[in-house]
Amino acid sequence: MKQWSRRTGLVVWGSAIVMLVLAWILSWFLTRPTAVRALWYVGWVVWVCGAILIILPLIMIYGRAKGKGWLGTMPIVDSGIYSLIRHPLYLGWLLMYVVVIFFGQHWIPLVMGIAGIACVYLIAVQEDMRLVVSLGDDYVRYMQKTPRMNILLGLVRVLQRRKK
């Protein structure tokens, strides 16, 4: 996959954001009394996990940046949540689409959720490509030891490193 043009990136980012907002709105309006309540409760659990994955990195990065902005965190942050997965914010964002699917229980939020998940995944892939270009071999080594968004694999790898 080649890097996107600025225009393509804006279209994908914009689509992902608009789909999430619309899917949230529609999931509330399309909720039916026949909806499976258990899925609704699972949705709340997934929402909490997603919110944690969004908030934790923001706190970590903000603390490291010390007034230099988001990109002031160079070099690579590979501790905390970033030792488990490379893109916790994107995983949290992706989980919000799963929440919409569980809350809505209708084909429209389902289709929008699947499309949104695909957009966020592609954004994460593009971000990896951008970071390889800007950070070089250090980021390639980080990519080899830390999964993109598979938090369970990341946990297994961290535990294996600690055993050594």
Spatial CB neighbours of 12, under 8 Å, sequence gap ≥ 6: 4, 119, 122, 123, 126
- Domains of the chain plus CATH, in order, are 6-163 (1.20.120)
Mean pLDDT, the chain, integer: 87
pLDDT at site 37: 86
Average pLDDT estimate for 11-40: 84
* Cβ contact 121:59 at 8 Å: no
Calculate what percentage of the chain has a pLDDT beyond 90.
49
The predicted-structure confidence for 68-120, as pLDDT tens digits, reads as follows: 555 555 678 888 899 999 999 999 999 999 999 998 888 998 999 999 999 99
Q: Using alpha carbons, list the distances in angstroms from residue 91 to 5, 16, 34, 70, 82.
A: 23, 13, 30, 18, 12
* Cβ contact 79:150 at 8 Å: no
Residue type, 50: G
pLDDT at site 152: 94
Alpha helices in the chain (DSSP H): 6-29, 37-65, 88-104, 107-135, 137-145, 151-163
**33-37, 38-42, 105-109, 125-129: lowest mean pLDDT where?**
33-37
Token output for 152: 């369970």
- Reported pTM: 0.85
Has residue 53 got a pLDDT over 80? yes
Nearest CA among 31, 37, 3, 23 for reference residue 98: 23
Calculate what percentage of the chain has a pLDDT beyond 70.
90
pLDDT at site 134: 86
**113-117, 120-124, 132-136: lowest mean pLDDT where?**
132-136
pLDDT at site 68: 58
pLDDT at site 19: 87
Q: How confident is the model at residue 60 (pLDDT cuts 50, 70, 90)?
A: confident
Nearest CA among 115, 111, 109, 139 for reference residue 127: 139
